[in-house]
């Protein structure tokens, strides 16, 4: 009888623990959502660099707040500026194909950019990058992705610098996995050519496709 009672208590305790773990998980997710919403509001009214003048809609980023994979591009183009969402133009269509090659769906990854406002000339100055990247830093810190795919040179350079990795040409590092471990994040950074670069330079298309296929293999190995 005594034994049975002890057993019951243990189950009760286990149930309580399970419940509190579940609640913890929900509260972590809720607080992530809250912090990101606050940050989104700051971006919407941000005037820290001159790019606010030409933006129609800032592009904060989108995806699950607990996404394991985060993609970081350069910044909004014409279509993104109109819709306020990342990668909705031609490069975005190609990105969807690349995600599929890795066995991923857009809905399961978090997608954002180094720059949050429209880049009329598809480039950002050092000062503009410095002004805007605290938003990206916070997104990384809150979401805690296990894998960050850096799309193109600017995102790659920014992340390599942030995590103290040696800068090298994209030709050398694309598709490779760089493990970083700091107080704020433990993750793998994978630099890739930007999807738009394959639209401008068709031979890059097969390079990109192969890198994304291999990313899919890596993800499957990791989940085993």
Integer Cα distance of 219 and 12 in angstroms: 37
The partner in contact with residue 65, picked from ligand URA, ligand SF4, none with C-beta cut-offs of 5 to 8 angstroms by kind, is none
The residue (of 74 and 187) whose beta carbon lies closer to ligand URA is 74
- Residue 112: name the closest of 152, 60, 160, 41 by CA: 60
Alpha carbon dihedral 76, 79, 83, 87, in 10-degree steps, equals: -60
- By the rule CB under 6 A, 138 interacts with ligand SF4: no
**Angle at 130 (CA atoms; ends 124, 134), nearest 5 degrees:** 120
Tokens of 205: 């298309």
- Number of helices (H) and strands (E), helices first, in the chain? 8, 5
Q: Which is nearer to ligand SF4, 131 or 150 (CB)?
A: 131
Is 58 a binding residue for ligand URA by CB under 6 A? The answer is no
d(CA 65, CA 45): 22
Q: Which does 142 bind (CB under 5 to 8 A by kind): ligand SF4, ligand URA, none?
A: none
87 binds, among ligand SF4, ligand URA, none (CB under 5 to 8 A by kind): ligand URA
Would you say the C-alpha torsion 55, 107, 142, 98 has a positive or negative sign?
negative
User: Quick one: tokens of 198?
Assistant: 């394959």
Contact 155, 114 (CB under 8 A): yes
Instruction: Pick the binder of ligand SF4 from 33, 52, 62, 78 (CB under 6 A).
Output: 52
Question: Backbone phi, then psi, for 71, in 5-degree steps?
Answer: -110, 135
Write the binding mask 63 to 82 for ligand URA: x where contact by CB under 6 A, - elsewhere: ----------xxxxx--x--
CB of 86 to ligand URA, least distance (A): 4
Site string for ligand URA, 128-157 (x = CB under 6 A): ------------------------------
Q: Is 47 one of the binding residues for ligand SF4 (CB under 6 A)? A: yes
Closest CB 38 distance from ligand URA, rounded Å: 22
Closest alpha carbon to 148 in 119, 103, 102, 112: 112
The binder of 48, among ligand URA, ligand SF4, none, by C-beta within 5 to 8 A per type, is: ligand SF4
Binding site for ligand URA (CB under 6 A): 59, 73-77, 80, 86-87, 91, 113, 196
């Amino acid at each position: 009888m005594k034994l049975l009672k002890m057993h019951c208590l243990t189950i009760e305790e286990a149930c309580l623990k399970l419940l509190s773990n579940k609640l913890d998980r929900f509260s972590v997710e809720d607080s992530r959502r809250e912090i990101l919403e606050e940050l989104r509001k700051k971006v919407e009214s941000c005037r820290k660099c001159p790019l606010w003048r030409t933006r129609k809609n800032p592009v904060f980023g989108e995806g699950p707040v607990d996404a394991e994979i985060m993609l970081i591009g350069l910044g909004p183009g014409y279509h993104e500026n109109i819709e306020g969402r990342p990668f909705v133009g031609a490069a975005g269509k190609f990105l969807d194909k690349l995600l599929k090659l890795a066995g991923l769906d857009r809905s399961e990854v978090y997608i954002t950019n180094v720059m949050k406002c429209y880049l009329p000339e598809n480039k950002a100055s050092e000062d503009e990058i410095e002004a805007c990247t605290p938003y990206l830093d916070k997104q990384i810190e809150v979401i805690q992705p296990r894998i960050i795919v850096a799309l193109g040179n600017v995102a790659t350079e920014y992340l390599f610098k942030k995590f103290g990795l040696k800068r090298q040409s994209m030709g050398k590092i694309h598709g490779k996995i760089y493990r970083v471990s700091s107080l704020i994040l433990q993750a793998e950074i994978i630099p890739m050519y930007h999807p738009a670069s394959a639209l401008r330079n068709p031979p890059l298309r097969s390079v990109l496709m192969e890198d994304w296929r291999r990313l899919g293999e890596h993800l499957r190995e990791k989940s085993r």
